[in-house]
Amino acid sequence: GNAPVLGEYLDCACSGIMACSTCQVVVDKKWFDIVGHPEEAEQDMLDLAYNPQESSRLGCQIVLGSTMDGLVLMLPKGSNNMMDNIPFDD
């Protein structure tokens, strides 16, 4: 579908096809069940990420929806937060 994917807002080296781990995020524990847990193939790629945590996900695999309004994520140190570069009117 055309639902936005979280990976679009993050550093992404492989064009979002789950072939790297640059878009790793750590989902806030309260949100992990809502966002969903990673399947086996995604877990394999998370193994290569920088310091993966229990609630890590790959941004390119998280499809955003209305249930995620207010979603809290942490970016690993060293990740580029692309949101810093988007000129929102505050």
Which residues in this chain contact other proteins in the complex, by CB under 8 A? Answer: 13-14, 20-22, 40-41, 43-45, 47-50, 52, 78
Q: How far apart are CA 25 and CA 56, in angstroms?
A: 6
* Nearer Cβ to other proteins (12/35): 12
What are 76's two structure tokens?
């690993």
**In angstroms, what is the minimal distance from the CB of 31 to other proteins?**
21
Query: How distant is the alpha carbon of residue 86 from its chain centre?
Result: 17
Q: Are 25 and 57 in contact (CB under 8 A)?
A: yes
**In angstroms, what is the minimal distance from the CB of 38 to other proteins?**
12
**In angstroms, what is the minimal distance from the CB of 26 to other proteins?**
14
Q: How far apart are CA 16 and CA 63, in angstroms?
A: 12
* Nearer Cβ to other proteins (78/87): 78
* Nearer Cβ to other proteins (22/61): 22
The residue assigned the tokens 């055309």 is 2
